[in-house]
Structure 1
Amino acid sequence: MKRKPQKPPTKIKMQKLSYLIVLSLLVSGIMFTVSAKPLLAVPYISSSACCLIECSSGQILYSRHAHEERQVASTTKMMTAIIAREYCRVNETAVVSSEAARTPRYVIGLRQGQKLTVEELLKAGLICSANDAAVVLAEHCAGEQALFAHLMSQKAFLLGARHTHFANASGLPNHDNYSTAYDLALIGRYLCHDPYLARIVATKQTKFKHPSYTQVIDITNSNRLLESYPGANGIKTGTTNDAGKCLVASAIRKGRHLIAVALQSGDRSGDCTRLLNYGFNNCKPVKVIDHSQIFKELRVKNGSMAYARIYPGQDLFLWQGEKDLNFEKRVKINYDLQAPIRPGQKVGALSVYVDGGLVDSTDLVSGDAVERHSNIFQRIKDIIY
């Protein structure tokens, strides 16, 4: 009985050696720890959940139960203002509906049929936390409060606030209206990047054009830190029986911007004061990536040099407090470099994560100039090895 001839293994030979030219990306994550020096301990915080972040990077400096979902009262109005800014012009005129006029306290006393601008509504909602002003904004922007709340929830998700859902624009008690200390810090951080809203939440006292009065009235910010804490510039208070007393506080000192969140607090101003003091006085920058240190040496094909030295494009820093700093490096890099290579040419990227969140990143670049080598023997050597 004749055996059928086997097919020659052509696809396993020289043909696939040419696949060395295909781009190869390596993705890796490696945990690192920087030991903390003896520093001042975190002070007593009465809040059941709290969070402190550095605003430019979003890095968490301190947290406790920061990812627990809970009622957050009128801190909800931060997102109300963000959506109103995205969907409306501040000089537009809104009309108070019968539903908005019936909004439970705290309200500024708007009546059905009254007209006022989006700008005045934003001031009333953010400075004195008027629930009726928030409802008027929602109805003006989206036609109804339910649709507006859906837009709020979508925006929160896009900002990385993955444990947040809104059911109304005011923050009045509703089991479907919840967030976390960390998510509120992210939302507050985003609000602070809007100069118009940042100016409102930093206002201690201002004039409000109430449609029921011929003269403007004074309204005072419910955030007492604006009066008592040097550098305080926002952001929002909130109080209900279910949520307790809440505060999202922001402060800037010597170019550093921190955001502190205290939820269900026995002393929200004191808690945020102690968190901010801890961040400003006790958290120091630590260099975790040095651009002058060789990150790796990569082989270069068809080059005058066999390897190119790879460096980070810039230094990267993290903020460190009383605890050891655990962070992760994630790398994407091209392992199939072909000459010529220019100095400074990007060959990959390096990202630094803390607590699973991206803090900063930099390019990986070549530190060498590698010319193309035309020697046939070198090319054969490159293919074999």
Structure 2
Amino acid sequence: MVQKKSLSIPLLVLLVLSFLVSAPVVRGAELPAREAVPVPDGDFTMLSGAYLLMDGETGEVIHEKNGTARRYPASITKLLTTLLVLENLELTDEVPFSRLAVMSIPVGSSHIGMREGEVLTVEEALHALLLMSANEVANALAERVGGTMEGFAEMMTQRAKELGAVDSHFVNANGLSDEDHYSTAYDVALVARELLGHPVFLEFMGHHFYSIGPTNLESESRNLYQQHKLLNPQKDSSLFREDVIAGKTGYTRMSGNTLVTVARREGRTLITVVLESTGQIYEETCKLLDYGFSLVETPPVLPETAMSRPASPSSSEREQPRTALLSLETSAPLYLRADEDLAGIRTETDLPPVLASTVGTGDVAGIVSYYYGDRLLATRNVVVYGWEEDGRTALSSGGKSPGGSSFGGSLLGLGLKLLLGGAALFLLLFASHVRSKRRQLYWRRRRTGRSTTYY
């Protein structure tokens, strides 16, 4: 007699799971493309020499003017100083003040009157740095972390590059004027975005007032007040905003006014950087924030005609035609005004009809541009995430994870796979449950002779 064999439940579950993971991962790139930004409504004239509005969650640039142009940052440099301190020291660590740290700052620059040989904790020093922009405190923290102020400046430039801030160079921890000390609005925004991952930074930023108690050399307390007017209602109640959660001010004669601001509303986080301002810096920051919060996010969709491309066979391989499966490199959203309809979005693709034989998994195959009417919303890279040969699909995890949308690349296709896979998994588990109950019923009958129904 021939015995019928069936797949075990664990094996079927494994097959279902393998079906699910065959769909490409949808994940946003850490540094999305920033070639194009939407044009704000109406009169959006701003006098500042450079500014930028960034989505704090995705890192996408929403709007900018001279966002990658080098400018003098002034005291917003201290955000990078703060980042390195948080990454290298504990809040309870001590920070001693050398003669060089205290005496090397110019007369008239921001300070809290620290003395040579005096000691603060890191927590106290960071409050002085962030609230009062104390330059001698920045020097002391630099010596504590980097050994010397020069060594710390090298650490700053290196850490900035690691974040993608490649157009910056730092020679001090406080931002005092120097021709070789420069950054960009985009680079500063990247630093601010990285700081959002440190809860203690946001905690300190929420303090309008902080008092440093007596130290080893000072018997009186030092009272510190938040200088950023959008953060402190006692500074200027007409400018204070409830949605602003962090920021840093800056000013030198070389830089003009500079300002970094982070705001959060209804789950959205925005970062603004304004450089080279001669006035109205808070009003211009508010204009950027209000514009950003008025926009509606929508996910980009890869056009059906751009979901795949044939590729030339390599001369070193068998002459077998291959088809490249394509996806968007990043899932960072597009931004529309509240009164604009999704149906108004159009796309233009720049993809060769046949890909070169040298193109591999994870490589950029072309670009797709998104427009609303004649207005360019964004440009996205299209990448290869898998191949189809002889009717078989081969996906590779060795390349870049696609972030766009298509079936095998679209959000619709991925959702369909998940839905079908989830339904199959549910049926398999239910069948297993019923089979188990039937076995229980069988043995109960063997033991008691009673007939009982179990569900």
For the aligned pair, the TM-score class normalised by the smaller chain equals 0.7 to 0.9
Residue 288 of structure 2, aligned match among 248, 264, 275: 275
Deviation for aligned residue 1:219: 0.9
Separation (CA, whole Å) in 1 of partners of 2:393 and 2:335:
35
Unaligned stretches of 5+ in structure 1? 1-30, 300-305, 353-360, 370-385
Deviation for aligned residue 1:298: 9.0
1:138 and 1:148 in contact (8 A); partners too: yes
Q: Is 1:124 the equivalent of 2:137?
A: no
Q: Residues 347 and 311 of structure 1: is their aligned pair in 2 closer, same or farther, counting only changes over 3 Å?
A: farther
1:120 and 1:209 in contact (8 A); partners too: no
Residue 185 of structure 1, aligned match among 181, 186, 189: 189
Separation (CA, whole Å) in 1 of partners of 2:213 and 2:141:
16
Separation (CA, whole Å) in 2 of partners of 1:308 and 1:63:
35
Q: Normalising by the residue count of structure 2, what TM-score does the alignment of the two structures yield?
A: 0.62
Match of 1:85 in 2: 86
Match of 1:261 in 2: 273
Separation (CA, whole Å) in 2 of partners of 1:68 and 1:314:
25
Aligned to 2:274, the other structure's residue is in SS state strand
1:290 and 1:314 in contact (8 A); partners too: no
Could you say which structure has the higher strand fraction? Answer: 1
Aligned to 1:289, the other structure's residue is in SS state coil
Match of 2:249 in 1: 237
- Which structure is higher in RCO with an 8 Å CA cutoff and minimum separation 6? 1
Aligned 1:34-53 pairs, distance under 5 A: 40-41=41-42, 43-53=44-54
Separation (CA, whole Å) in 2 of partners of 1:159 and 1:181:
14
Separation (CA, whole Å) in 1 of partners of 2:271 and 2:37:
24
Aligned 1:10-89 pairs, distance under 5 A: 40-41=41-42, 43-89=44-90
Q: Residues 171 and 340 of structure 1: is their aligned pair in 2 closer, same or farther, counting only changes over 3 Å?
A: same
Match of 1:318 in 2: 334
2:324 and 2:387 in contact (8 A); partners too: no
Deviation for aligned residue 1:162: 0.9
User: Which digits, 9 at most, give the CA deviation of each residue in 1:27-66, with x for residues without a partner?
Assistant: xxxx9x9998x97336332211111111111111111111
Deviation for aligned residue 1:309: 9.4
Q: Is 1:331 the equivalent of 2:383?
A: yes
Aligned to 1:224, the other structure's residue is in SS state coil
1:310 and 1:364 in contact (8 A); partners too: no
User: Which digits, 9 at most, give the CA deviation of each residue in 1:113-165, with x for residues without a partner?
Assistant: 01111111111011110001100000011110000000000010111111111
Deviation for aligned residue 1:210: 5.3
Aligned to 2:183, the other structure's residue is in SS state coil
Match of 1:141 in 2: 145
User: Which digits, 9 at most, give the CA deviation of each residue in 1:177-210, with x for residues without a partner?
Assistant: 1101111111111111211112222322222235
* 1:325 partner letter: L
Q: Residues 45 and 100 of structure 1: is their aligned pair in 2 closer, same or farther, counting only changes over 3 Å?
A: same
Separation (CA, whole Å) in 1 of partners of 2:261 and 2:334:
22
Separation (CA, whole Å) in 2 of partners of 1:35 and 1:128:
34
Match of 1:350 in 2: 402
CA RMSD of aligned residues (A): 3.8
User: Which digits, 9 at most, give the CA deviation of each residue in 1:58-98, with x for residues without a partner?
Assistant: 11111111111111100000000111111211111121100
Match of 1:216 in 2: 221
Match of 1:6 in 2: none
Q: Identity over aligned residues, as a percent? A: 28
Match of 1:107 in 2: 111
